[in-house]
A and B are shown apart, each in its own frame.
Chain A
Amino acid sequence: MNETDTGTPGPILTVEDLHVRYGGSHILQGVSFDVAPKGVTALLGRNGVGKTTTLKAILGLAPRTGRILAAGTEIQKHSTTRIVRDGIGYVPEDREVFGGLTVEENLRLVDRERGIEAPVVDRLFPDLVARRNQRAGTLSGGQQQMVALARVLLRPTTLLLIDEPTKGLAPKLVTEVADVLAEVARSTPILLVEQNLPLVRRIADDVVVLDAGRVVHRGRAATLVADADRTRELLGVSMRKEGAA
């Protein structure tokens, strides 16, 4: 939306000193990082370190303090609706498609004019077109993930926040989702929460690692993944097992 932005290769998203507190717990304790304007930035860490909360806080779905800049504009005071309309798409953990609505309705919710007829759906998710009248709740996990991805792509987006898109999916579907993500990432930067290390190795350019509500590592994905000891230290052994499976 801001024409000067195109000339500068600054970060598409900057998070500064982000704190989140619920009830008595202090979940994010001053998280700061940048998301590059191109490619995939993976947000990694063990379970419960605050990855999902970070995404929710960026969107205003969790009560937060700190500064969040999207393409240089402060957005921490904006409503969730406005943040999303201004171009940040969100694919939540567990898909959260509307199970009682049909596939077509799920998409028409975001884009009332085109919905399932949008070219992007036909190009990336041909499967969904065939199932347009099926209730989303009766779809398989992989298909639901496709619905969740499709509906954010119906809006023009400058950044996608995607939370564990391959969680609970069979290996074949993981590959399918990864293909879609790689395709999407060619045009839109992605901040990706992911536990599947091979997937991270395949599509991520940068990584940010969280531990106990703080950033403990920032760098290139390839560098981290190549360093087995550092990976184990930051992400735990279980990650490697899961990745090997």
Chain B
Amino acid sequence: MDLPSTALSCGFSGGVDDFAGLLRRKGFLPAAPGVPMAAAPGSEAIPQTQATTILAFKFQGGVLVAGDRRATAGNTVVYDRADKVLEIDRHSIMAIAGVPATAWEMARVLEHSFQFFRRTQLQEMSVDGKVRALSKLLRDNFGFVMQGVGIVVPIFATYDAGADPAARLYFYDAMGANFEVTDFAATGSGSPAVRGILYYENNWGKKPLLEMEQDEAVTVALRALDTAAESDTATGGVDRNARIFPVIKIVSQAGITTLPDKQIGALFKRSVA
């Protein structure tokens, strides 16, 4: 069944394939190995590139999603401008902690899946469908995770324009379980510190996260990431000389807004540094 990518399949699929299924049928997506009970021998010895610390919480203007910029492999900093907050469609963001090689591929499959569904089925995929699609990709990847390669633990934020319109936030475990979040979520190696801060702010801060204005919300996000970077070497702090700031995006009814570095820089100077 090795057809070139331009060959036309005459069999009428009727669009029953989802995009991942189509890719697999055409041999463009590797099938995950069956789940072994132990890590493959030697897999521990290869340091994998990892990306860390992402957070997301709901505030007045929707959902804020933020991520630091560092990618590491063992003790080595591989890259200090990694983008872990990825736009999937006009209203959806997937933020990733884990192995970028797998995560970026997953984001790519997800982005194409949503579009493929809309184009073939002539309707937008539901929010539940989108959340589930990411679950399925994680589940399919679990064989790799058990072998010690390619773990991804994402956060997914989207705007639900359905019967109960609201910005929604989900986090996942590596096996693909999805959990809807009422207030905040954080994953990655720096997340314990971030969770502590968000929990504190939400309960005993000046006001709950949900009531914060945008500038207040961005300040909390920057302070949380700075705290994570303080103790976790895998989380990148702000590099003011090179002007590297965290990526912060906001999901709302209007779509996705990416905060410009200038604005983040000014807020950082005022409230964090």
Whether A associates with B in a native complex is no
A residues apposed to B, CB below 8 Å? none
B residues apposed to A, CB below 8 Å? none
